[in-house]
Amino acid sequence: AKCTQNETFQQGRLSDYGNVELSPAAGVLNYGQGLFEGTKAFRGEDGRIFLFRPDQNAIRMQIGAERMCMQSPSVQQFVDAVKQTAIANKRWIPPPGKGSLYIRPLLIGTGPILGLSPSPEYTFLVYASPVGNYFKEGVAPLNLYVDDQFHRATRGGAGGVKSITNYAPVLKAISRAKGEGFSDVIYLDSVHKKYVEEASSCNIFLVKGNVISTPATVGTILEGITRKSIIDIARDIGYKVEERSVSIDELMEADEVFTTGTAVSVATVGSITYNGRR
């Protein structure tokens, strides 16, 4: 679906997977005015299809759109589009336990704009792909590398929203870590280079005794939907959960560490390498 500035999105349509035509001067191509989301459809034992909290992705996209000066679809439009995409691709949803259908909504500035200002037109689109495990380790524990050279986000930046601009700058950190045999990177805050933020596409938790802690979201960390579910479930079953600053030293001393995200679900961490320490 398309809409121009100060308008609301009209109803979209389903079409076969294919290329998107863009103006060379599109806001997304020139200034990175774009947001994405990620959610999954699962098949239940009885064959029914489940979506994982798509309304939460819709709300996160609205918050992101406000930050990035974009028009955003309504929660209803977003959820309907995700549902329609899942139903239209039903045959690609693997059987229970064999993976899921990853659904990727995008909101991009498609209107031409030469000067640095918001795009005059936006496009909301959704595509999907069946997926298995995110990490090649499958369900084996991850080996994470703490990178204190590259940062994912800075205070006042767009790290708190799912802006496409947050991802290309860490490709170098990820490929360097993967080249050395690590599964992913843990980023530290850019001010003190001491506090844990998150991994490339997931949030981090640590367990010490009966307390579960996770870095507080202070604008530089993406507020994961899985993160919120895990906090709620852990509290429901009697754990104390703290959202606060977590130093890297504390993470290294934890009893247990795990990461959460739509792509990874919940993944256990086997080792963390920081400054030559493991």
CA dihedral 209, 276, 272, 241 (to 10 degrees): 40
Near ligand PMP in 189-208, by CB under 6 A? 198, 201-203
33 binds ligand PMP (CB under 6 A): no
Helices (H) and strands (E) in the chain, counts: 6, 14
- What is d(CA 53, CA 155) in angstroms, rounded to the nearest whole number? 28
Does 151 bind ligand PMP (CB under 6 A)? Our answer is: no
Q: Is the dihedral of CA 92, 93, 95, 100 positive or negative?
A: positive
12, 32, 38, 120: which one binds ligand PMP (CB under 6 A): 38
The gap from C-alpha 145 to its chain's centroid, in whole angstroms, comes to: 19
Choose the binding region for ligand PMP from 114-122, 129-137, 178-186, 221-229 (rule: CB under 6 A): 221-229
Q: Tell me if 250 sits within 8 A of 122, measured CB to CB.
A: no
Tell me how far apart the alpha carbons of residues 136 and 113 are, in angstroms, rounded to a whole number: 41
Q: Which residue has the closest beta carbon to ligand PMP? A: 224
Smallest gap from Cβ 113 to ligand PMP, in A, equals 26
Q: Which of 41, 186, 212, 222 binds ligand PMP (CB under 6 A)?
A: 222
* Interacting residue with ligand PMP among 34, 64, 105, 261 (CB under 6 A): 261
Total chain residues near ligand PMP (CB under 6 A): 13
Do the Cβ atoms of 251 and 204 come closer than 8 Å? Answer: yes
d(CA 193, CA 196): 8
Catalytic residue of the set 162, 172, 178, 208:
162
Q: For ligand PMP, which residue of 224, 248, 273, 274 counts as binding (CB under 6 A)?
A: 224
Q: Which is nearer to ligand PMP, 121 or 198 (CB)?
A: 198
- Pick the closer one to ligand PMP by CB: 3 or 199: 199
The yes or no reply on residue 227 touching ligand PMP (CB under 6 A) is yes
Is 136 one of the annotated active-site residues of the chain? Answer: no
Residue-wise burial string across 123-133, b where 16 or more C-beta atoms lie within 10 A, e elsewhere: bbbbebeeeee
> Which residues contact ligand PMP (rule: CB under 6 A)?
38, 198, 201-203, 222, 224-227, 260-262
Active site residues: 162
